[in-house]
Structure 1
Amino acid sequence: MYDRILAKAQHRLETMTPLPKKALAFVRRLQKRKEEALRFLREVHVPFDNNQAERDLRMVKVKENISGTFREETFAQSFCITRSIVSTLTKHEKNV
């Protein structure tokens, strides 16, 4: 079913003018990396998406927006290290 959906998408994209190159490249990447794209179905520990990485980065932007900016680079580095530790402990269900 996965292969049929992607083949249909590829056919439709290839008939469009102008050719949507990014969308077509995405479909081809999903075809080429089928095992990786569907790994979450076979392995319970693999997340469906990569939202955790986005959530981790979002905290830096929130801190930056609240305080305006980091006063020194070392403060930004310390904040990132602290957030990394908290995120890792949370992922491993440890007490923060």
Structure 2
Amino acid sequence: MLEVLRDRQADVLRFAHDLKVPPTSNQAERDLRPSKVQQNVSGRLTSEKRTKDRYTIRGYVSPAAKHGLNAITVLRDALTGHPWMPALPAPT
């Protein structure tokens, strides 16, 4: 680890200069944290089906929010038959 810090200092500290770069690459953990907090507060696990449903919805809403869309609008549009899909990346 020390070698990475020494040899790639600009990469390691990029988040300090570019505010668009998050300080960690663990976005998935941050997306799941609200569910883990709820589980800890309630002191119980929900059913497997409910957990799968919750993460399916969260997995749909989270990327849409990262693209600057309103979560409620995205859910409403999906339920009315107009699901959001991210744009395809530009060919390189």
TM-score range relative to shorter protein: 0.5 to 0.7
Cα separation, 1, equivalents of 2:22 and 2:55: 23
Deviation at 1:69, TM superposition (A): 0.4
Moved over 6 A (4+): none
Which residue of 2 is the match for residue 49 of structure 1? 24
Matches within 5 A, 1:1-96: 26-40=1-15, 41=17, 43=18, 45-50=20-25, 52-65=27-40, 66=42, 68-72=44-48, 74-96=49-71
Q: Percent identity?
A: 36
Cα separation, 2, equivalents of 1:67 and 1:93: 33
Deviation at 1:61, TM superposition (A): 0.8
Q: TM-score, normalised by structure 2?
A: 0.52
Question: 5+ residue gaps in structure 1?
Answer: 1-25
Q: What is the total number of aligned residue pairs between the two structures?
A: 69
Cα separation, 2, equivalents of 1:64 and 1:80: 13
Q: Which structure carries more helix by proportion? A: 1
Bigger Rg over Cα? 1
